[in-house]
Amino acid sequence: MDVFHTLLVDQPTTRTVQVIDMHTSGEPTRIVVKGYPKLEGETLLEMRRCAREKHDDIRQRLMFEPRGHSEMYGAVLVKETELTKRGEADIGVLFCHNGPDGYSTMCGHATIALGRFLVDTQDLEVFPNRNKLAHDNATGVTAIRLHAPCGVVHVSVYTQDNLGRTSDPTRPVRFLGVPSFVTARDIEVDIPPSQQWKRLRDHQCSRVKVDAIAYGGAFYALVSATELGFKDGLRRGDSNQTLAEFDEATATLKRILSERKELYAHPREPDLAFLYSVMVVEKTDQGETGLCFFADQQIDRSPTGSCVMARVAFAVDQGRLQIGGEGCEYESIVSVVNEGNGFHGTAVEQTSEGVIVKVQGRAFYTGASSFVVEQHDTMPNGFVVGLPS
């Protein structure tokens, strides 16, 4: 009998949770495939509340150390939602992260990873509708309608055969997001003296112009690095600016901006109406590089698919991108130094609710695990490293 079997079978442990780990442009997605309890609620948003109120210990266990790490990200598959019951989606998902709020409303990088996994899994217990997915023999593309908290996302996955059994890791996964839109432009934000960060003080500046607040399944504040006082953009440059300084600047900006609730009005859903992230944007000859601080200041390693949706909507609003045009390349500070890891965003259609954006990128498997908690574990839900208060 192997050690792992002994651990799982002979030791008194709490519920075993099985996960598949993937990365998209370096950003992890821990996909929870088995061991998560059935969520209560009529709608996916109600189930999201149930996950937060009743099962947050599982999120903490999988995201926090020692099983996760400070930048971990997860996806919990939800087999049945109000939309799968009506035949409008194939499966549901809840996204989770490390912050106190715990659960995102949209995630592009995880959608790209899930696209591959949901085609590849043959386990109907994990994905009961797996064999009902639409597959186009001519293009070799399998289509998945993924019910995310923000709405249905249409994912297209190239497969290696005409039967749609296995995803093709050499080709990008694409998805069409929910309608994306801009709620505000050129917002002047006054930073009180006690909250100013060093680079602002260096420039004797107390006001920051945020280019836009835009929605791509979640609300983003889009701001340039130079506007925050970082003259070398998203590079260490001559002034040796650091990530810690960007963290302080964006955290401060987010705190102040979050108070302005009118900027995050969602036309239908109060649960979607909050500022998720400050995205620092740098325009380049090739497209845009971004540094995304989301949730409780996690840094996205990927170019942030939902913010690609938001940024494409903003670019259409400004006339920089056209509906049906070629679109734009989006990089993160990680993908820009690892060639072939960027996302591509295109404006596909203008609807009355916003722009439908197509995002494409690539994801890869990194592992599979069964996580347990021993009965006498003194830190059952893990921990986040920080100075004690």
Ligand X SMILES: O=C(O)[C@H]1NCC[C@@H]1O
> Can you give the binding site for ligand X, defined by CB under 6 A?
27, 73, 104, 107-109, 294, 300, 302, 304-306
Strands 74-78 and 328-332 turn out to be unpaired
| Closer CB to ligand X, 68 or 229, in the complex | 68
Closest contact distance (angstroms) between CB of 321 and ligand X is: 18
| Closer CB to ligand X, 229 or 345, in the complex | 345
Both tokens of 271, joined, read 């649960």
Residues 6+ apart with CB under 8 A from 94: 44, 47, 48, 51, 75, 76, 78, 103, 149
Degrees, nearest 5: CA angle 357-223-386? 105
| Closer CB to ligand X, 107 or 187, in the complex | 107
| Closer CB to ligand X, 158 or 294, in the complex | 294
| Closer CB to ligand X, 74 or 164, in the complex | 74
Contact 329, 136 (CB under 8 A): no
Half-sphere exposure of 374 (CA within 13 A, CB side): 8
With 0-12 / 13-18 / 19 or more C-beta atoms within 10 angstroms meaning exposed / middle / buried, residue 378 is exposed
44-54 and 56-63 helices cross at what angle (nearest 10)? 80
Closest contact distance (angstroms) between CB of 44 and ligand X is: 16
Residue from 272, 268, 261, 286 nearest 344 by CA: 286
Both tokens of 230, joined, read 């970082």
Closest contact distance (angstroms) between CB of 217 and ligand X is: 7
Cα distance from N-terminal residue to C-terminal residue, the chain: 46
> Which residue(s) pair with 346 in the sheet?
358
Question: For tokens 């901006």, what's the residue?
Answer: 257
Degrees, nearest 5: CA angle 303-308-309? 150
Closest contact distance (angstroms) between CB of 223 and ligand X is: 17
Residues 6+ apart with CB under 8 A from 72: 28, 30, 62, 63, 64, 97, 98
| Closer CB to ligand X, 288 or 300, in the complex | 300
Closest contact distance (angstroms) between CB of 304 and ligand X is: 4
Contact 104, 216 (CB under 8 A): no
DSSP 237-299: TTTT--HHHHHHHHHHHHHHHHT-GGGG--SS-GGG-SEEEEEEEEE-SSEEEEEEEETTTEE
Catalytic hit among 107, 150, 292, 307: 107
Helices (H), the chain: 3-10, 44-54, 56-63, 82-85, 108-120, 198-202, 243-258, 305-318
| Closer CB to ligand X, 336 or 373, in the complex | 336
Told to judge if 328 belongs to the known catalytic residues of this protein, a careful annotator would answer: no
Both tokens of 227, joined, read 């506007």
| Closer CB to ligand X, 150 or 321, in the complex | 150
Closest contact distance (angstroms) between CB of 188 and ligand X is: 27
Closest contact distance (angstroms) between CB of 216 and ligand X is: 7
Closest contact distance (angstroms) between CB of 314 and ligand X is: 15
Catalytic residue numbers, as ranges = 107
